[in-house]
Amino acid sequence: MMETRDKENTDPKGIARLYELTRAILLVNDPEELLNTIASEVVKLFHARGSIIRVAHEGKLYLKASCNLPESFMADEAIAFGEGLAGMAVSEDRTIIYQRGEDPYRPAVMLDIQNAVSTPLKSGSNLLGTFTVFDKTDGEGNIVPFTKEDVDSLEGFATIAAIVIEKLFLYEKALQKEREANEEKQRALELSKYLQSLIDNTADAIITTDLNRTIQSWNIGAENMYGYTREEAVGKSYLLIPDFMLDIERVYTEGVKKGETLKNLETVHRKKDGSLIDVSLTMSPIKDIQGNIIGISGISRDITHRKKTERELIRKNDMLNRLIFISSAMRSTLNLDRLLRMILTAVTMGDGFGFNRAMLFLLDEERNVLKGAMGVGPSGHEEAWRIWSTLSMENKNLNDLIEEIERGPLKKDSFMDKLCCSMEIPLDEVSVLTMSLKNKIPYNVKDVHLQEFAAPLFMQHLGSTAYAVIPLVSQDKAIGVLWVDNHFSRRPITDDDIEYLKGFTSQIASAIENARLFERVYQAEKELENIFESIDDMLYVTDVDYVIRNVNRAVTEKLGMSAKDIIGKKSFEVFHHVFAECETRFREMVNNTDEPFIEEIEDKNSDNTYLISCSPIINSVGKPIGTVHIVRDITEIKKLRARVHESERMAALGEIAAKVAHEIRNPLLSIGGFARRLEKRLNGGLSDYAKIIVEEVRRLEQILNDTLSFVKSSRIERTELDLCKIIESVTDLLEPVILENKNRLIKDLKPLHVCVSPDRFREALMNIINNANQFTSEGTITISIDKRTINVIDTTGKLTKRNEAVISISDTGCGIKKEDMPRIFDPFFTTRTNGTGLGLAITKRIIEEHGGMIEVHSTTGEGTTFKIYLTCKEDEQ
């Protein structure tokens, strides 16, 4: 019965509904609505209480569509695979039929149902969800079980539902995609709007150009900033660049074309109204997709105002630190050139005062001129660019540079430096520079054409149209001026700049004064040191404990020691063996008095004569802290003085002798001549008497000749002779006299050739040997010949060796008294009652005529040695 009714119920109706549903799939666009239709159609078909379509998603089943679900049904709750009827259908992959009380299955959800059928929804093997129908009725409210046909019908509906769900998924995916695309589009639209508004609303001027610098785009910021409208600007080139910046602009452009991005260049642009504004400019290349540079973008910001406040704020803060740093560096630098370079670097560095060029002029009071002392700055635009880019590349700041100046070599060859150093401005010339100096006030020349006395010739060399001059005032005295300009950047010099420079210049003025003072002191010290070192007098300084504090070159040479071996030792340790007496005398004087003294001292040890001077060093409170000792070896001078003295005496003597000779010779001549005549004519005893007169006259005439021989300076004729032979001939002649005094004659001779006038030299030797014999009795007279080699400086100044013959004549006689020693070679000096006193004087004269030297050593009671030094023949020229 059930089967029949089922057939009646399902067949015609079921097919009609399936057909309608299939049509609905085609007609209804909304898959969710379609699923609900399917759910309700199935309920209608089976007269069921309700139906549920679930979709599978990530292992769970979610309610998607339903029909007649009670309100208590928890629609939100997902059920897991394997759970309840739907879960079982999925996990077992078949249609499950539930009959209350019969089945092991239990509905997962709390639905009070009698029976149900649940089937999985699949597309191919792909699980999409489940379709459950519950509580089938017979049309009159009685619940009846599901039949096999019902299951088939439901599976048929399930197929349609699966197609719909699949369609739903696809639809949802497409919808999602469309939504995302819309969102993307919206975002892009918003960004573009944002960018445009950014470009339009930014205060920065954004300008793009092609590679020829022809303007392509021009934003509102640019319109506002420069005054040109977009229409006016686009298509133009170098619209904003002032003439004087064109060169630099081209350098910038070249850089960007190479791919560089120039960030925050501070430069100057010209507005439509012709005025100049400070801008911070960032230039970057515009590239196409392939990366080729096709244009240049420039973003510029008006920093006139910012610069002003910035300068005010930042500078005020920085200035203090910088001034402290610079002034500490300056204080530690006493070298004037380095100091000047530091000052000018501080004035011209970007993180210093930032001027383009600077020069220092210092007052030369002696010559009454302002003299250029140092200048820094680039010589032209090219150099300016190079320097600034190098500095920014090396990332050097002021501190580094100042340190470099302190330690590094000082370069002084720049164009500006040379130019500056060649400048000299007479003070009586009226110019801004001299006025600034005289009036001690700064001048800010904003336009040289508008200010009187602002463009003297030298300023024209610099090409400067605006500059400032600040006086350097130290202790209320102007010592020079600082000149600055911004020739390359054209940045106007503000009154603020001047104020800051004023603060700076008062510091540098005193630093310069210090350095100049130091330089003067240093110079004076150097000069003193030079004097100290170069004087030939020995000079040494001791402290109160006689410790040597300093010695000069003469001392080190004399001692043959280095200064460092001498300094620090006690003075008597070092000097006692050199000039003991001087040292003793110094100490006596220093101990007794603080007065300086000068004295001549004969040092018995060394036989030298010293002129010594000793002056105390008094400190600022009047206490002696040491002594300066000067020792001059005047031995040679003394000898020279004696020789001069002697030759003066000789000259006087010569004149007297000539007179005497004339006066005496004539009467003698008469006496002698007539006596000769008498002798011839007289006989016997009278003839003898006349003969006596003749003899005596001859003797007198001989004395006369001796005297004259001494004073005359006739040239001697020399011949080469063996010294032995000369000595032999003399001793032959004198042997009888030597024997008469019971003296022994020892000869130690060797052949040695000399070039002498034989008669004169013999006379000299005879005088000495005679002399030795006369002062010796029962003793020994020794004559020896030696040869020695000495160093001499020849006429060309070359050091050469020379051989000398040394003739020694020693006796063992009574010796010469010490007080007589200095006078023994004096004419008319004699200790014998019957001597003329001319013998040794003539001897010395003769030896000296031969270019030789004679000296005497004598000890009273022991004997005397004469030494004659004579150049040997082989060395004579």
Which residues make up the interface to other proteins (CB under 8 A)?
A: 658, 661-662, 665-677, 694, 697-698, 701, 704-705, 708-709, 712, 714-715
47 three-state secondary structure: coil
660 three-state secondary structure: helix
Asked if 215 and 208 touch (Cβ cutoff 8 Å), the reply is yes
DSSP element (H, E) containing 730? helix 723-740
User: Where does 100-157 show beta strands of DSSP type E?
Assistant: 115-123, 126-136
Is 561 or 678 the residue whose CB approaches other proteins more closely? Answer: 678
Min CB(758)–other proteins separation in Å = 17
Min CB(703)–other proteins separation in Å = 12
Min CB(667)–other proteins separation in Å = 8
What's phi and psi for 808, nearest 5 deg?
-110, 135
- The span from the CA of 477 to the CA of 653, in Å, is 71
- Which neighbouring-strand residues pair with 443? 469
DSSP element (H, E) containing 304? helix 304-331
Min CB(848)–other proteins separation in Å = 17
Is 438 or 698 the residue whose CB approaches other proteins more closely? Answer: 698
Is 543 or 679 the residue whose CB approaches other proteins more closely? Answer: 679
Is 595 or 759 the residue whose CB approaches other proteins more closely? Answer: 759
Min CB(661)–other proteins separation in Å = 5
HEC profile for 214-267? EEEEECHHHHHHHCCCHHHHCCCECCCCCHHHHHHHHHHHHHHHCCCCEEEEEE
Is 246 or 669 the residue whose CB approaches other proteins more closely? Answer: 669
Min CB(715)–other proteins separation in Å = 6
Min CB(695)–other proteins separation in Å = 11
Asked if 837 and 830 touch (Cβ cutoff 8 Å), the reply is yes
Is 662 or 798 the residue whose CB approaches other proteins more closely? Answer: 662
Is 336 or 697 the residue whose CB approaches other proteins more closely? Answer: 697
DSSP string, 798-854: -EEEEEEEEEEEEE-SS---GGGGGGTTSTT--SSTT--S-HHHHHHHHHHHTT-EE
Is 286 or 664 the residue whose CB approaches other proteins more closely? Answer: 664
Min CB(671)–other proteins separation in Å = 7
- The span from the CA of 183 to the CA of 106, in Å, is 46
- The span from the CA of 37 to the CA of 47, in Å, is 15
Is 502 or 665 the residue whose CB approaches other proteins more closely? Answer: 665
Is 343 or 675 the residue whose CB approaches other proteins more closely? Answer: 675
Under DSSP, the state recorded for 715 is P
Is 596 or 673 the residue whose CB approaches other proteins more closely? Answer: 673
- The span from the CA of 365 to the CA of 352, in Å, is 31
Is 108 or 661 the residue whose CB approaches other proteins more closely? Answer: 661
Min CB(694)–other proteins separation in Å = 7
Nearest by Cα to 464 from 487, 489, 498: 487
Min CB(674)–other proteins separation in Å = 6
Helical H runs in 48-124? 84-92
Min CB(767)–other proteins separation in Å = 19
HEC profile for 505-542? HHHHHHHHHHHHHHHHHHHHHHHHHHHHHHCCCEEEEE
Burial class of residue 660, CB neighbours in 10 A (0-12, 13-18, 19+): middle
Min CB(699)–other proteins separation in Å = 11
Quick one: tokens of 585? Answer: 């005398």
721 three-state secondary structure: strand
DSSP string, 339-378: HHHHHHHHHHSTTTT--SEEEEEEEETTTTEEEEEEEES-
Query: What would you report as the CA-atom Rg of the chain, rounded to the nearest whole angstrom?
Result: 65
Is 213 or 665 the residue whose CB approaches other proteins more closely? Answer: 665
Burial class of residue 730, CB neighbours in 10 A (0-12, 13-18, 19+): buried
Min CB(700)–other proteins separation in Å = 9
Is 309 or 687 the residue whose CB approaches other proteins more closely? Answer: 687
- Distances in Å between the Cα of 4 and the Cα atoms of 12, 90, 564, 615, 849 are 13, 31, 142, 158, 182
Sheet holding 853-859, edge to edge: 744-748, 780-793, 799-811, 863-871, 853-859
Min CB(668)–other proteins separation in Å = 6
